[in-house]
Structure 1
Amino acid sequence: MSTTTIDPTFYRSPADAAAAPPEQLAYVAAFDRGGQTEDAMVVIDVAQGSSGYGTVIGWTPVPGGGELHHFGWNACSSALAHEGHDVSGLARRYLLVPGLRSSDIHVLDTEPDPRSPRLVRTVTAKELSDRAGYSRPHTMHCGPDGVFMTCLGGGEGDDDGPGGIALLDHDTFEVLRAWETDRGPQHFHYDAWWHLNRNVLISSEWGSPSMIEDGLVPELLLGNRYGHSIHFWDLAAGRHVQRIDLGAQHQMALEVRPSHDPEATWGFVGVVISTEDLSGSVWRWYLDDTAGQWKAEKVITVPAEPAETDQLPPALQPFGAVPPIITDIDLSVDDRFLYVSCWGTGEMKQFDVSDPAQPRETGSMRLGGIVRRTPHPARPDLPLAGGPQMVEVSRDGQRVYFTNSLYGALDDQFYPDGVGAWMAKLDADPAGGLSVDAGFFPHGDAFRGLRVHQVRLQGGDASSDSYCYRS
């Protein structure tokens, strides 16, 4: 089959992805915390030199959105997983956008005009429950033969039942089934990704819907009741293989970021907070070939910062400190730099992870934060609420985008005077280091009163593709 029939944004290797033309558009999920205004998919101009650079150029209402949160493409580079796999009719065309509260999955078509996605289908909460036995779809990754949709809750009538992964057809968007055949000890769910060529899926844990619906429950958090483990699975069989408990004090093991090298057997998971000292952390998992077992070790610790009681929201006043609240991490496509969002302190950190066992901090910048409220250089008169949250890295590693809202109920807990809405972009030095792009700052009225969460980049980005070949 001629390669000309394959979507050009299906990249064989990380190097191919990095060498492809840069993104021109960013898609951003936006939601109304009060549920009175329609959620939306917002399109931002990110083309360098464009007259509309850094502005909203597309807006697609999503009726009944149900707090749009994480989302992703129907298909990506993982479609090339097997030589001879027929991908001639498949394209990175549709965005699958779950509503975290509604459990509906909205399908947006980015053709014919990528600046104006069209809502073409809604996969209902009932279909998700009836066909897969899950609710509260949260994170998705496009796999070689379908879409893996992680879900926080069980089926209708059993919201706090085990969360897991629903498998969707990436052509028809039909819910096929629950992916797991043997879940072993796994109950909580959050994120999942894989070492594709090693037939290994890694999943992480947050909490059941009742534990997050109205924000974090202090008694549960201090009792170490939220998720604190990662799980390893047989990808082809859907069978649980191994659980690693990071320690009960390491509450909320969230984003998993495997190496983009398809032959590697290491990756990172971010932990939101330690109940011992309010620090956040990043852990490396790796395969111990000698023992034939997966292992994990803490490789990054970000301490809490002291603060006066009157500077803190009620939830933090008893502690006299602001925790970093590590809510997202992202690994550059070349596996060189890891970005760590510290939503509480308003800091984005950059680490050189060329040696993944020994990360070295190479860059930092601050915007927002519970105490600091650091302004953007474009508006030095405007103290910012929220902080670096959902982070996305361009394929070539030169641009880092992020938004400021975490989750409606958590926004309200930690920024009770309002979190606002803004998006920023950093320029990343190939040798290490970060600088804020003063010309890129969509905020406030640009988002029509909605809050903004995850970002996806046209043509793919650092957290949406799995590559099948090293070169």
Structure 2
Amino acid sequence: MGVCISHEYSKPTAQETEIQQQFANFSKVDERPPMAVEHQMYDYRQANEEQDDELYAIICCPHSIGFDRDKIALVDLDPTSDTYCTIISEIRLTSNGDEPGRMNWAKSAESLIEMGKLIRKHIIVPCMNSGKIYVIGFDKNKFYMEKEIRSDELFRKDVSCPYAVRSLPLKGAPVHVSTMGDRYGHGKGDFVLIDRKTWEIRKKSDPTFSSFGGDFSLQPRHNLLISSEWGHPRLFRDGFQPSELENVSESFGSCLHVWQISPPKLLQSISLDSFDGSLVISVKFLHNTDCNHAFAISAIGSSIFHLHMNTLSREWQADRVAHVPSLKINLGGVFDSSPEVRIKTSNAMEDRWWLPPETRSLPRGTKFRGGPALMQLSKDGSRLYVCNSFYKAWDGQFYPELISDGGQMVRVDIVDNEMRLNEKFLVDMKDQPNGPFVIRDIKFLDGDCTSDSFL
């Protein structure tokens, strides 16, 4: 069979001409392979007996009932220490019921090599219920209150419910804090920018915002930010309603938003399936800055999405690459057929391990109250620390014993591509003074797999 070619042909459309022009301008520098050769340079190695950058962890501990103030605590992770698995220092927040979200350091290293050299003195703690943002100083294993940004300062910007924190590895760059509501608690995805010298909220140059807010990830080299969507704070603060599964689009967001960091500008919004993409709770760029690929995970949709950019059209798309079907169980009497709720994903420094929250047993003969929610992975990818609180209003519905008996933190060792629970490690908040408390987040002193946005 042959091919007949006519000398007469129609002129290319405007769209085809644009693509041809982009292709003509395409250069090797613009290529973004799925996995760059330099990717293996992030193959971090550390001897098992040497955990100098992992001797302590800062954990976020909301009071489980809310009758007392939440706290930020320092936990001893050194197996040779007499205070192993215990809290050695803490600071209480200033009011009851703050409900801290995703805390993070005010500074970010520009590369893996620089992480251990960076001096980190301040950790930013956004609070979902009170609307406050705490700037907590840390020096010589002691905490002190540096600054309290009150909720009325956010209300004046018509934002509320601060949730996640990210920093740019650039001198003079502000701290980014995502917010999920307007002053009345309706859904509104926006950001507040905090000056790292004065701790004042900077004025934004772009008034654009998305329908809902949530987690976000920075890619400084490509001047990109991707954010996800939760829902209306005024609704999810009252707990999870079974009826919301029948019409998730009314209560929760299902879009991902691609932003330009500086000058700030919304570039594109990606609409996911209304159920599979419902309540995207975590989004992460790869650590390798030569790759502008990212992954996102939906809590209700129980799906993992691969985000990537078409180098010709410059349009972003999200492909569903994994899905966990619903389970036939009874969760706290809320519903019988439950989606496998995915809360957090953590990627190793070499981006080889992407770990969904899933553990199945507990050391010392203790029952694991609830399910794994927030995780932190060691920089060498060998130790996974897991805590079990997501959001107290939801914790109490699905796992009442988590509220009555407190949260826990466990450690999973990754050996020979297998995950094994460490039976010698357990942090249990059940008998804490003025408790119980739950454990919401975990950060290492010298940075970790989720703290920094590499340049």
Q: TM-score, normalised by structure 1?
A: 0.79
Structure 2 SS opposite 1:438: strand
CA shift, 1:416, in A, is 3.2
Aligned counterpart, 1:371: none
Distance 2:111 2:423 in 1: 38
Matched with 2:377 is: 393
Match status 1:268 vs 2:316? no
Does 1:188 find its partner at 2:219? no
Partner of 1:73: 105
C-alpha separation in 1, matches of 2:382 and 2:269: 35
Q: Which residue of 1 aligns with 2:87?
A: 56
How big is each residue's C-alpha offset from its partner over 1:91-147, in whole Å with a ceiling of 9 and x where there is no partner? 421011122111111121111x22x211222111112222x4311110000123110
Q: Match for residue 273 of structure 2?
A: 247
| Cα separation, 1, equivalents of 2:70 and 2:387 | 16
Q: Aligned in 2, Cα 1:140/1:17: closer, same or farther, shift over 3 Å?
A: farther
Q: Which residue does 2:12 correspond to in 1?
A: none
The structure 2 residue matched to 1:427, chosen from 413, 417, 422, is 413
**Alignment correspondent of 2:304:** 282
**CA 1:454/1:109 → structure 2, altered by over 3 Å: closer, same or farther?**
same
Equivalent-residue separation in structure 2 for 1:160 and 1:189 (angstroms): 11
| Residues 14 and 403 (structure 1), Cα distance of their counterparts in 2 relative to 1, 3 Å cut | farther
Say whether the 8 Å CA contact 1:56–1:446 is kept in structure 2. Answer: no
Match runs of 1:353-432 below 5 Å: 365-367=359-361, 376-378=362-364, 380=365, 382-419=366-403, 420-429=406-415, 431-432=416-417
Counterparts of 2:409 and 2:229 in 1: how far apart (Å)?
27
Q: Which residue of 2 aligns with 1:34?
A: 65
1:315 aligns with 2:341: no
Q: CA deviation at 1:418?
A: 4.1
In 1, Cα distance between equivalents of 2:289 and 2:402: 42
Unaligned runs of 5+ in 2: 1-39, 113-117
- The unaligned stretches of length 5 or more in structure 1 are 1-12, 81-89, 275-279, 342-347, 349-364, 368-375
Q: Which residue of 1 aligns with 2:31?
A: none
| Contact 1:181/1:239 (8 A) holds in 2 | no
Task: Report the Cα distance in structure 2 between the residues aligned to 1:424 and 1:384, rounded to whole angstroms.
Answer: 9
Backbone CA RMSD of aligned residues: 2.5
Counterpart secondary structure, 2:426: coil
Write the distance in 1 (CA, Å) between the matches of 2:111 and 2:135: 19
The answer to whether the 8 Å contact 2:187/2:233 transfers is no
2:441 paired residue among 444, 447, 454: 454
Q: Secondary structure at the match of 1:126?
A: helix
Alignment map for 1:47-446 (pairs within 5 Å): 47-64=78-95, 66-78=98-110, 91-111=119-139, 113-114=140-141, 116-130=142-156, 132-143=157-168, 144=170, 145-155=173-183, 158-160=184-186, 162-178=188-204, 180-183=206-209, 186-225=210-249, 226-250=252-276, 251-274=278-301, 280-307=302-329, 311-317=330-336, 319=337, 322-341=338-357, 348=358, 365-367=359-361, 376-378=362-364, 380=365, 382-419=366-403, 420-429=406-415, 431-443=416-428, 444-446=430-432
Are 1:33 and 1:450, in contact at CA under 8 Å, matched by a contact in 2? Answer: yes
Classify the secondary structure of the residue corresponding to 2:344.
Answer: strand
The secondary structure found in structure 2 opposite 1:177 is coil
User: Separation in 2 of the partners of 1:211 and 1:403?
Assistant: 25
- 2:16 alignment partner in structure 1: none
The one-letter code of the counterpart of 1:211 is L
Alpha-carbon contact 2:258-2:266 (below 8 Å) kept: yes
Q: 1:54 to 1:150 in 2, by over 3 A?
A: same
Question: AA paired with 2:280?
Answer: A
The CA deviation at 1:336 is 0.9
CA spacing shift, 1:123–1:79, aligned 2, 3 Å: farther
Q: Is the 8 A contact 1:192 1:203 kept in 2?
A: yes
What are the Cα deviations for residues 290-347 of structure 1, in whole angstroms up to 9, with x where unaligned? 332111111121223333xxx5422113x3xx43210111111111101111xxxxxx
Q: Structure 1 residues 304 and 288, CA, compared in 2 at 3 Å: closer, same or farther?
A: same
For 1:123 and 1:26, the matched residues in 2 are separated by: 24
Change (3 A) 1:150 1:235: same
> 8 Å contact 1:105–1:124 — kept in the other structure?
yes
The structure-2 alpha-carbon separation of the partners of 1:414 and 1:257, relative to structure 1 and needing over 3 Å to count, comes to: same
Separation in structure 1 between the aligned mates of residue 397 and residue 204 of structure 2, nearest angstrom: 33
| Paired residue secondary structure (2:234) | helix
Cα shift at 1:181: 4.1
User: Cα distance, 1:388 vs. partner?
Assistant: 0.8
Number of matched residues?
399
Structure 2 residue identity aligned to 1:227: G
Identity across matched positions, percent: 24
